[in-house]
Amino acid sequence: MAKQKFEHFEIAKLPDFPVVQLTKAKDFIKLAEILKQLHVFTVTETKDEQSLASFALLYDKVIYLLSAKGFKTLDEYEDAEEKGFTGATDYYDAKRGGYMNYKDFAESKQIGVVDRSLHMKAQRLGFFDHYEEFKLKLDTNKKTIPVDFNIAEFDNAMKLFQFATERGFKDYGDFAKAFFLGFTEHAVYDDARNKGFTYAHDYKEAVCMGFDNVREYQEAVHLNIKTKIEYSMFDYLRKASKNKYGFDGAQLIDALKKHENCKKLSIKRVKELMEQEQRKLKFPGKENAGNNLPEWYEKKLVSDKEIIQFFKECNELNDFGFYDEDGEFFEVSRMSDTTILVDGSNVAFSSMDRDDNIKPYYANIMNLADALNVLRYKEIIVIADASLRNRVKDSFQLEYLKRKVKYLEAPAKTTADEFLIDNAKKNKCYIISNDTFKDWKMQDKWIAENIDHIRIPFLRNENGTYSMPRLEGIRG
């Protein structure tokens, strides 16, 4: 506001002179300038219990009056009119808030903001410059803008500014980029981007379905999968089937792994097990059970012939059973995870020192037993023939060995290999041995079909320790 032009004097009562009532401040001021009257009187009178103030000029015994309408000075009244204010209350509120004109003040007042610094911040952050552009983009981006956004509620730039900044956006550009992809919360937009999502619709749908990964979500949509739980089952069966068994094959493997040990299952019973597993595939929003399987379910084991072929070709089944072609049944025969057999003589003779004509040592068996302890076997059974104790170079170690393992000698008229194999059949145990049992394969069909699976070869390291890579893989 310019330097104050008028001097104001308060008076209690006007003299009894003729009165001219003016209605506009600019006319009153123009008259004062023409009459060269820069001294203005302020008079207050009470009517109907209300105090009404007026500005007055006295010239040649004529009083010229202008209603103050709440303004404290004539200069402020003039300033208010020039800036578009229609009332003193708004003018003084704007003045306290630092506003320079009524338009800016009115826009802020609509959302309850009377601080010009906020208004200036909204301008600085681009909301005023881009507000009209924003409204135009609403018409051309109807498919991606937030579904619950109502432009009627944001009829000026200040409202849009407040909406955006309250939701964490730093400026109009930051807000518009997210908004026209369907996001109204900066934190949500950031989370969506970090997880690979572009559009809010996809992100929100994925969250509702339980997904936090865009690749999994997109694959689920493609496969008509409705929840993360269903997708997890699909993904598990896909990996378990290894792209060759079929999902029914993967489920059958799981069922056989959990089945009671030492049971003989007919093909009919095997089919029943598969159907029991398939009935578990019930997911929200779908009626999938039994033969009515999900669209994504890959089924390869339908006929008896396909199931039998599966039993013959699936090496993974060897860990917990085998198929008997003569009896036409699958025998559940899981290998023990607590007990293991050791071919005592074979290990004792595993010395790397060729100068002693490959003499056996109990120490070799003890070192291998240490490796089996690391693999968490609780019972280590060493089987050897009775002659071994007379051949070893460290016979004094036998008592120490018996503290680590269960040491058994083959009975009379029974070879160590025969005793070892009988124990493997009976106890469902792996055998640690580098002997291939070639002669036994020709004598015994069970051995021919199973020995390569239950026999675990070993390696003797230069430092005298032992490793069994295949067993280490099985034990994980």
Q: Which pLDDT does position 434 carry in this prediction?
A: 95
- Determine if the pTM surpasses 0.75: no
**Backbone angles phi and psi of 56, in degrees to 5:** -135, 140
Residue 234 has pLDDT above 60, yes or no: yes
Report the percent of the chain where pLDDT is more than 70: 94
Instruction: Count Cβ atoms within 10 A of the Cβ of residue 324 and give its class: 0-12 exposed, 13-18 middle, 19 or more buried.
Output: middle
What Rg value do the Cα atoms of the chain yield, rounded? Answer: 47
- Domains of the chain by residue range: 7-82, 89-122, 125-194, 237-332, 339-475
Residue reference for tokens 């295949």: 470
Report the percent of the chain where pLDDT is more than 90: 57
Higher-pLDDT residue of 330 and 356 is: 330
Higher-pLDDT residue of 319 and 165 is: 165
Give the mean pLDDT of 399-425: 93
Of 151, 148, 146, the C-alpha closest to 178 is 146
236-295 confidence digits (pLDDT tens): 999 999 888 899 999 999 999 888 887 899 999 999 999 999 988 877 655 544 457 899
201-224 confidence digits (pLDDT tens): 999 999 999 999 999 999 999 999
Q: Which pLDDT does position 355 carry in this prediction?
A: 53
Give me the chain's average pLDDT, please: 88
CATH match of 7-82 with 3.30.720: yes
Fold match between domain 7-82 and domain 339-475: no
Give the C-alpha distances (Å, rounded to integers) separating 397 from 307, 354, 384, 401: 52, 21, 15, 6
339-475: what fold? Rossmann fold (3.40.50)
pLDDT band at 137 (very low <50, low <70, confident <90, very high): very high
39: left (phi over 0), alpha (psi -120 to 50) or beta: beta
